[in-house]
Structure 1
Amino acid sequence: MTDNFAELRREWDDLAEEVRRHRDLYYNSNPIISDAEFDQLLAKLQQLEDEHPELAVPDSPTKEVGAPVTGSFDDVEHLERMMSLDNVFSEEELVNWLARTPGPYLTELKIDGLSINLVYRNGELAQAATRGDGRVGEDITANARVIEDIPHALQGDFPELVEIRGEVFIRPEDFPELNAQRIEEGGKPFANPRNTAAGGLRQKNPEDVKKRRLHMVCHGIGAREGFTPATQHEAYEALKAWGLPVSEYTKRAETAQEVVDSVRYWADHRHDAIHEMDGVVIKVDSIAQQRGLGATSRAPRWAIAYKYPPEEVTTKLKDIQVGVGRTGRVTPFAVMEPVFVSGSTVSMATLHNQSEVKRKGVLIGDTVVIRKAGEIIPEVLGPVADLRDGTEREFIFPTLCPACGTRLAPQKDGDIDWRCPNTRSCPAQLSTRLTYLAGRGAFDIEALGEKGAEDLIRSGALVDEGDLFNLSEEDLLQTKVYTTKAGKVNASGKKLLDNLTTAKNVDLWRVIVALSIRHVGPTAARALAGRYRSMQALIDAPVEDLAETDGVGGIIAEAFKKWFEEQWHRAIVDKWAAAGVTMEADTSDEVAQTLEGLTVVVTGTLDNFTRDSAKEAIVSRGGKAAGSVSKKTDYVVAGENAGSKETKARELGVPVLNEAGFITLLESGAAQ
């Protein structure tokens, strides 16, 4: 029994020390593991204590908030302790918490930044501090004064004393430029925006803090005198009136189901916010109820953080290789040790171009931070530079195409991307063009995937995409993907031939997309097909005339015209036409252009439209389906959980429609 306890104690000691080390790195330096990996360590320690209560001690990391201050700033004691939050990781855990914690509630986005505590006395900013261990933080008042979002003086009817809690962050859109600047100045690259914000807030010179483009959002109150709000919502309204920044994403939820609905909504819209977020915080709105529920040694019982599956993890970068795309663009990609992130195991991630590799400062052999947002291809954010041991090496961009051996070069002076100029015969370009034209946005050929496309080219069944619609069973016998071991066409091969017959009858704009003309995507293709109505009319149109098409412009028009100057390109179109592929717009079911000249933004969840079908409905009627709201927006369609776009529309005076109003707009071109 004694030996067993000694073994358990050693396990606890090792795990507690590891948790403390990584917590200190998170709050006082640069973390070397992801938030999700830290959560797993802490949960393992908590489970060990739950199973063996005799191991738990008063100063266990499971009972601590933040980390002790280890920097060179002066210590400052918070007027009221800054608590942490308990986490739940599943809907079931959330529902259980809601069942024992009565509402109404507020739902707030959990910002991935650095906590800050502001003290205002008689309306003047008297002190700013980091969280520290929850009781004592670092005095960063001078640095806080240069963050534009933090007012030096409150406005309106403010109290004698108020302690404000908030989160300092860097917008994801600012991060690449800031990191590039850091690398250029000879510094180590930061792995993510959160690290950059943390490092920025601790700069010795406030002028250096300015360069980090830091922002702040308030998410709580501490000590106060002369201010007694009844609810958390009322407190936020007061903060806003005093000139402090509050989140536009916070919502009141009357019921537990509304909370669950909000959590589900933000799971699909994690990247719609202006800051990085990794979960939703749920708070009891009534401050009287908050007091009644109380707190544990580290967290309030009246609040919980629902954390989403990680989108950021760390792994080893084994190599950097390059791939060749359908337009000849050569793209570096990371080959990594397999790692589970955002619902799947990944071993490759994009690095965009050779300039981006240098800008991010990644070396082969680095431990890197990667992100996978939903179904998007994983992306390398940056290296964990503190883990380098000297064996890492720089990536050298190749001079020859890895698929065909042709010398690589920019298409024109000033291009960031390098390309393989062997457009017609490069097998990598041919197979990726085939895969692209088989996609949903073009011919939608279900039986033609990446492996099938590569096999058709490698086997010689196709020389290029021009003969695609002339494929026969005899041609497919040359392949491996579309034949059986007995040497006959298999079910996939027969399905491919059936799909090709059906695909001939797609809309003209999809045929234009399928040609893989540089810059010509679905929006431009729709506009061109809608205006000219036939492929021949498009071929004959002068570039100046093409450029006048709404949504096209000079660059796309020139690219379109230049593509048809190549005889083998024209041959593709001629072969498709001879095979019976659509070359003229069908006027029999032409959709009335009720939205011509109108810009419409759709936000939130609709009952009868997906995001893609709503966009299709707008564009097919001549409208522009925009992603953001501005003064030029004509209508905003707001479904359930519409969020900030609806708020901004109302602030700008843009008409906001419900789903019924949207249907009326589609039919008549006007909201009634």
Structure 2
Amino acid sequence: MDDLFTHAATKSENDPAARMAQLAKELDHHNKLYYQEATPEISDAEYDKLYRELEDLEKAHPELADPNSPTKRVGGAPLDAFESVEHLIPMLSIDDVFELSDEQLEKEPEGTPRETELIAFYKRLQKNLGQEHIPVTVEPKLDGVAVSLVYRNGKLDYAATRGDGKRGDLITENVRTIRSIPLTLTGDAPELLEVRGEIFMPNSAFAKMNEERDEAGLQTFANPRNATAGTLKQLDSREVAKRPLAFLAHGLGAYDGPELATEDAFHSLLDELSISRNHPVWHAKNLDSLLKAVSQLNEERHGYDYATDGAVVKVLSRADREKLGFTSRAPRWAAAYKFLPEQAETLLKDITIQVGRTGVLTPVAELEPVLVSGTTVSRATLHNQDEIDRKDVRIGDHVIIEKAGEIIPAVVKVLTEKRSSDSQPYSLFNAVDGKCPSCHGPISQEEGMVAWRCTNFACPAQAVTGIKQFASRKALDIDGVGTSVAEAVVRDGLVKTPLDLFKLDLLTLTELNLGTKFEPRLFGEKRASKVLESLEAAKSKPLSLWLYAMGIRNIGESAAQEVSRLHEKLTDIPNSELIEALAELPNYTELSVSKRKKENHPLLAELKIDDSFGPVAAASLRDFFKSEAGQDVIGKLHSLGINPASDNYMPKPAEADTSDMPLVGKTFVITGTLSRPRPDFKKQIESLGGKVSGSVSKNTDYLLAGEKAGSKAEKAEALGVTVLSEEAFNVLISA
């Protein structure tokens, strides 16, 4: 096999269209191996190199770009709204038949089987076809969102939702981001092929996404189907690309190709074209084998990595299907047998609080162990206080448990009729006495967020996240301490808080294992020495960087700079009168910070405090340093001989000599590609007395714009903000 990158430049120059086609083919091949077969042939770096080459060629030759290029997987510009399209063939639903519940069986004659409705369906097939043995297929009923994929000459033409069965929404841009859907078919593709199937979230990916949302304090999704449906409604395909969606085909719509006599022939076509299909598939020749297949599916389904709530039964022969025909809404040759949701009653003995890696406090129901969906459940997440309030969950309640989407144990409802008369509503804040269970630091609930969060950067429960923030380039820039090192030192019990990094020695760091017990990968003396050098340098870093490194809620880079301007050293902050005064002000919305401060406190007006440091940020800072956890941080820093000092101390600008600081009182925003990294310009502006913000507003004085300035430049022009080129900026600061 030729080197993947041999003669790439020559091919691109001589025939960019051919090279683009070749790259797209290779990337599609590797996508299939990685996402569908889990057998990658090349490394991520090699894949990225191919991807970037294609991306560069498409930018250089936009007229040659294919709408089904692998580069479209990341999404494009947001749509204003979805257009609709008429289905080539009506997209009908399948009639449901249900497994009978205990309550229903009590009303039926003794001996009535739970599968009564499924048996009745098969007997209708026997009657209408006039034969006793009718071969059928049985496959899992996917609990996703039904879609239609239309391919013409082997390329995806468009994708649409079911809609009302006659017309659906065009979701092509969103579907192009789903890597398990081929944009170009392999093999001998028919001229027209409409594949129908389900878009869904795999259970493992859904659980991970919900865990991450929980950690971020965001609302979690109730089940994979809700998450999938909500994602596909996004008008911004770039957001869709971030969600873990997958696709499995299960039906045929419009088709122009060789005859497909049976469902098996259709499955063979899908395999030949590398279109992922629903599986496993059972074959049943009579009623008895049908019931056995459905029973086996019901037993096995809990091990699948997708949500399924039933079995789809289809007549195997397409000739027989034509004889059976359709009703006005569904085919007579298929049915969806819905299993009963598995629930169980149990006792909620207690509610415990877990502290996640980002400091989010998650309530967990501690249950009397009970069997649900084949596993014993003794714990169930309650997500947050809002969820507890909505369901009115209390300690001591009898509750109904169900695996939401067959994955996560959840409290479905409370049996209030069994509730004790002395039960009390549950308050997370009161249960932990307003303190983090892990470190006893303060907790807060940000406006607009549902989660309570520990605000102590030294909390052991969030050690890895805290270390990453502490060592990041924008913070103390500790060379060599990234995710893998943070995880390793916490895993080995060497570090419980970011400040423990200063206790590490050369030998310990040198022998730090970044690999596994069986495949060790030592950190090494050279890298260990760099870490220790960076840690020594961090001790003298300015106050603003230390404040940002601590990751205190609501204290970002700009706020840290402002606090540093107002305080000479870190130990001045815990008893700062001005922070106390600012924290006590109302949280304003319409009036500017400066105007509100002038009305309420003369000292604050004199200090000319920037909008980036308002009452909410001040309250976060005050509460942290007055807490037991904050005092502990001050104590540890003192023992290390560290008391960060300000490098921009100027509490009363009117009294300061700013003759050599031409940008005092000016707010900048930086965007686009410049001759130096943006952080360099930020430091330069701040050293001259200016401030740098992340977004353009009416309070922005200048936008420093390089090439490809984008939307920030447009907004600046609309607001009348002065836009500076790099050349104009240099003239401004030298004037």
TM-score by length of 1: 0.42
TM-score by length of 2: 0.38
Q: Which of the pair has more CA radius of gyration? A: 2
